[in-house]
């Protein structure tokens, strides 16, 4: 029997962290238990091999207690203590990475020891550590509130009641923190409500908005508050003017945002643009591509140097829709090496095939799609749809009809597909097949019959609510109509 979750948790430690954990456990300040020290030492010796016989209970027991008979009652509490020691180590590691909280807790300790002269000096150091933007960022606002509260404790303890200016500054700092946090939550709720049915009620939001509108100079002078306020106004139903105000506010004040918050803010702008695109306002495609380019330039889309394969695909799709094919091709090649190695080949070939299709290089599309592995549902659907369109443009009707039958069966058998998605692809297959059947029979049909058949397809497409690649299909129907007109004129 394995020795439990403690060893599973150790697998998440990097080698340097494991070394520090062993040193932590060996310190009598943190751990006076000799058998526990031996257990952690053993863990360091077998790292990272926390599996198999090495973590069998009997083996772990032997390493700690020698050849004495196995006793579950001795081992179980030791593993519990080891887990607690690991949690203490993680806490200490996290605490050691935050100089501000070290300074804050030092102030508390100094104050409790009545070391007032030292307190004044260290408080000044902590205040300076927050920098010049105390009222500008979420992080410094939050820390500033904690520091103000600690300073108030010190003033009460030393009976310093004469400085009313301190209270005014503290209240302003607290107001700014509260307003910013409320606006952050309000933006998030606006986005979530478009995806989920949420009953979250944001108390005090209305008074906050009114206060900002009544005295914008007092609140919009705080960079993060201005950016979040304008973003909230955008997400709650703003127009194109408000979009540009929100974007400008973010660009103007982005120095006051953490890396994580900056990513979030650009995501809000992206969500707004995508929503407008979904309503048929294609002018926002240029905005989406512009936002993607900004995020690429700032490294916001890279996590540890890795670009998500789905961001990669979305950028390619946007570039293709805008007709920026040279730029898109350059992007595909430039960022190929930033993809996760496990997804690189599939993502690269699929997106290059999509770009080649837009460039009319149909034979190359077929060569690339043959190399795409269909293990991922999204690639499987996207590749099949792209292949269907390519066969249509190549007038490879037998291949198209065969693929259409296989695609239809795939959609019927796949239980993971949402109904709307299944319907969208099913309609693409059905109407592409009908258009292809008409096109390959045009030479043998009377003009009246061909026109009547075309009209039935056209009306069915217009009446179908869900069709993937609807724009492409409508374009092909327009081409088909042109062929009908040409035949009549002969």
For residue 134, the model assigns a pLDDT of: 42
Confidence at residue 254, expressed as pLDDT on a 0 to 100 scale: 87
- Please check the confidence at residue 165 and state whether its pLDDT lies above 60: yes
pLDDT at 485 over 90: no
Distance CA 88, CA 489 (A): 86
Q: Which residue, 223, 66, 212, is CA-closest to 138?
A: 223
Q: Which of 115-129, 157-171, 470-484 has the lowest mean pLDDT?
A: 157-171
Reported confidence tier of residue 488, pLDDT bands at 50, 70, 90: low
Cβ atoms within 10 Å, residue 359: 15
More confident residue, 399 or 155: 399
Contact 25, 37 (CB under 8 A): yes
Summarised one tens digit per residue, pLDDT across range 53-102 is 888 889 999 999 998 999 999 999 999 999 999 999 999 999 998 888 89
Which percentage of the chain shows pLDDT scores above 70? Answer: 94
The token pair that represents 310 in the structure block? 């789905």
Three-state secondary structure of the chain: CECCHHHHHHCCCCHHHHHHHHHHHHCCCCCCCHHHHHHHHHHHHHCCCCCHHHHEHHHHHHHHHCCCCCCHHHHHHHHHHHHHHHHHHHHHHHHHCCHHHHHHHHHHHHHHCCCHHHHHHHHHHHHHHCCCCCCCCHHHHHHHHHHHHHHHHHHHHCCCCCCHHHHHHHHHHHHHHHHHHHHHHHHHHHHHHCCCCCCCCCCCHHHHHHHHHHCHHHHCCCHHHHHHHHHHHHHCCCCHHHHHHHHHHHHHHHHHCCHHHHHHHHHHHHHHHHHHHHCCCCCHHHHHHHHHHHHHHHCCCEECCEECHHHHHHHHHHHHHHCCHHHHHHHHHHCHHHECHHHHHHHHHHHHHHHHHHCCCHHHHHHHHHCCCCCCHHHHHHHHHHHHHHHHHHCCHHHHHHHHHHHHHHHHHCCCCCHHHHHHHHHHHHHHHHHHHHHHHHHHCCHHHHHHHHHHHHHHHHHCCCCCCHHHHHHHHHHHHHHHHHHHHC
**% of the chain exceeding 90 in pLDDT:** 61
pLDDT at position 1: 54
Euclidean distance between CA atoms 25 and 3, whole angstroms:
19
List, for residues 386-396, the tens digit of each pLDDT value: 999 999 999 99
Residue 141: predicted pLDDT: 79
d(CA 99, CA 78): 33
Tokens of 195: 């995806």
Q: Which tokens sit at 315?
A: 């950028």
pLDDT by residue (tens digit) across 172-214?
888 888 999 999 999 988 887 765 555 667 889 999 999 999 9
């Amino acid at each position: 029997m394995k020795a439990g979750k403690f060893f599973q948790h150790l697998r998440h430690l990097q080698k340097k962290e494991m070394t520090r954990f062993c040193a932590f456990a060996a310190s009598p300040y943190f751990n006076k238990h000799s058998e526990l020290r031996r257990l952690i030492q053993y863990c360091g010796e077998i790292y990272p091999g926390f599996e198999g016989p090495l973590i069998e209970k009997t083996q772990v027991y032997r390493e700690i207690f020698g050849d004495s008979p196995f006793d579950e009652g001795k081992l179980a509490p030791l593993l519990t203590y080891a887990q607690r020691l690991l949690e203490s180590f993680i806490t200490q590691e996290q605490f050691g990475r935050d100089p501000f909280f070290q300074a804050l807790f030092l102030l508390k300790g100094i104050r409790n020891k009545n070391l007032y002269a030292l307190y004044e000096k260290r408080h000044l150091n902590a205040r300076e550590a927050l920098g010049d933007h105390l009222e500008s960022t979420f992080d410094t606002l939050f820390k500033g509130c904690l520091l103000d509260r600690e300073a108030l404790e010190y003033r009460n303890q030393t009976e310093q009641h004469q400085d009313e200016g301190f209270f005014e500054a503290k209240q302003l700092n607290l107001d700014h923190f509260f307003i910013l946090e409320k606006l952050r939550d309000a933006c998030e709720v606006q986005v979530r409500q478009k995806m989920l049915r949420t009953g979250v009620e944001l108390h005090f939001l209305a008074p906050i908005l009114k206060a900002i509108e009544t005295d914008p100079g007092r609140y919009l002078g705080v960079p993060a508050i201005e950016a979040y306020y304008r973003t909230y106004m955008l997400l709650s139903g703003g127009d194109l003017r408000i979009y540009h105000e929100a974007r400008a506010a973010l660009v103007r004040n982005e120095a006051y945002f953490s890396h994580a918050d900056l990513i979030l803010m650009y995501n809000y702008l992206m969500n707004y643009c995508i929503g407008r695109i979904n309503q048929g306002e294609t002018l926002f495609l240029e905005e989406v591509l512009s936002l993607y380019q900004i995020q690429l330039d700032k490294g916001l889309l890279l996590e540890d140097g890795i670009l998500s394969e789905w961001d990669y695909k979305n950028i390619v799709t946007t570039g293709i829709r805008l007709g920026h094919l040279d730029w898109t091709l350059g992007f595909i090649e430039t960022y190929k090496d930033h993809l996760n190695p496990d997804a690189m080949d599939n993502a690269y070939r699929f997106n290059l095939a999509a770009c080649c299709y837009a460039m009319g290089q149909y034979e190359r599309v077929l060569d690339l799609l043959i190399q795409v592995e269909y293990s991922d549902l999204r690639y499987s659907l996207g590749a099949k749809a792209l292949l269907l369109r390519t066969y249509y443009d190549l007038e490879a009707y037998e291949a198209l009809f065969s693929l259409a039958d296989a695609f239809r069966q795939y959609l019927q058998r796949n239980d993971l597909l949402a109904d709307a998605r299944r319907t969208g692809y099913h309609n693409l297959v059905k109407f592409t097949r009908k258009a292809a059947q008409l096109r390959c029979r045009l030479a043998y049909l009377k003009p009246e019959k061909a026109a009547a058949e075309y009209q039935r397809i056209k009306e069915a497409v217009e009446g179908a609510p869900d069709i993937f690649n609807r724009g492409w299909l409508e374009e092909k129907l327009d081409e088909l109509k042109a062929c009908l007109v040409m035949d009549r004129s002969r």
